[in-house]
Every structure is written in structure tokens, then in C-alpha cells.
Amino acid sequence: MSYQREWEELSAIKGELAERDWFMGTSGNLAIKAGSAPGAFLVTASGKDKRKRTAEDFLLVDLDGNPLEETKLKPSAETLLHTHIFKRSQAVCSLHVHTVANNVVSELYGDQGQITFKNQELIKAFGKWGQDDELIIPIIPNYADIPTLASTFSHHVDEDAGAVLIRNHGITVWGRSGFEAKKLLEASEFLFQYQLSLLSLKSTVQLQS
């Protein structure tokens, strides 16, 4: 079975995100469906340095996260989240990264269970084109037990593209292509950084005006 094209695509995305330092401390993991096999996807191997590009970066697994080829590699511990995305939607690519901004947002808004963006051009990346459209990104607790985490996560996978924050555990986005998943990831990060900067300044400006 051939998945050279998907490997190249995921590898390019990995390289780009690594350059931004979105995999600090070996955190983060990525997955892409292997097109010719409906029930198979490539996922990052556990414990690798994601700034390097090697033949052991990814391995092929089935929709339950079990390796489909003989390998000494172990799939990322959070592969279960990717399986839920591919089982519950037509998504093709799923990306999970930690950034300082997405972790801080997840903590500040964690008790509210979500963060809402409105009147922001960048929400168009999520298909929100109307004047009054809102983008809501859910925030779920960071259960140490991965099956519990994955199950809670799966309730928010109701479209083929989306994003979920895990409290103090980064963001997971998915889309109908690697390109779309990356677009949502970038737009989310931009909105989070914007929100934190605005929050820190709003009170100051009110004091001065």
C-alpha cells in the first residue's frame, strides 16, 4: 500500500509547525488519512524530535490506532483522539499542538467551557463570513485518562472541520485536507494571541481615556 504523497504532506506540515516551535518538549502529534485505504491513517511516532525529518516520523495505523505494518515504533499516546475525528467525520487531517497562547486561553476561559470570537476577520478561516457570525471554540478538561479525554473530545467532533482546546493541553484542529487543518490552526493561534493582547490592554486604555 502506498502513502508516499500523504507522508510528504504531513512531513511538510510538521516541518512548518516545528519551525514555529509549536512542538516544545516533544509535545504535539499529527495525523493524516492514507487515501487509498479508507480505514488507515499516518500518525506521529511517540517520543521523536519533531524538528528532525526521518523515516521513523510516522507509522500507519487503523481506525482503532493499531499499527498496520510491522514496526518497532509506537503511535503517539494521544492517537485515540485522532481516531475519533476520523471515525466521526470526513476529516482528512488532524493536528495537535501546544502554544503558550492556546494554553493560556484554555486556562483563562476553561471554567466557561468555551471562548467566543466575533467581529474578527480571521474567523472567516472557519467559514464564518456573515456580519454577525460567531466562532465558538470549546474547552474541555484535561483528563489524565486518555480514553475519558478522547470520549469527552469526541462529542465536539460534529463537523468535518473544527477545533477544540484541552485545558492546559493545547489545541486539536481537523479539516478536509492538510491545508485546511493548517489554516484553522493558524487562524486559531492568531485569534488567541489577539485576545490575550487585547485583554492585557483594555483596562489600561479605559483608565487613560
- The answer to whether 98 is annotated as binding is yes
Rank residues 82 and 167 by Cβ distance to a copy of itself and give the closer one: 167
Rank residues 12 and 38 by Cβ distance to a copy of itself and give the closer one: 12
Burial code of 29-45, b = ≥16 C-beta within 10 A, e = fewer?
bbbbbbeeeeebbbbbb
Instruction: Say how far apart CA 162 and CA 175 lie, in whole Å.
Output: 7
26 lies in the site for a copy of itself, by CB under 8 A: yes
Identity of the amino acid at 119 = N
Three cell numbers at 62?
487503523
201 lies in the site for a copy of itself, by CB under 8 A: yes
Rank residues 88 and 183 by Cβ distance to a copy of itself and give the closer one: 183
**From candidates 46, 120, 151, 152, binder to a copy of itself by CB under 8 A:** 120
The answer to whether 17 touches 28, Cβ cutoff 8 Å, is: yes
The answer to whether 63 touches 86, Cβ cutoff 8 Å, is: yes
Restricted to residues 55-114, the positions that interact with a copy of itself (CB under 8 A) are 98, 100-101, 103-104, 107-108
Instruction: Say how far apart CA 116 and CA 35 lie, in whole Å.
Output: 34
Q: Which residues contact a copy of itself by CB under 8 A?
A: 16, 20-21, 24-27, 49, 51, 98, 100-101, 103-104, 107-108, 119-122, 125, 129-131, 142, 144, 166-170, 179, 182-184, 186-187, 189-190, 193-194, 196-205, 207-208
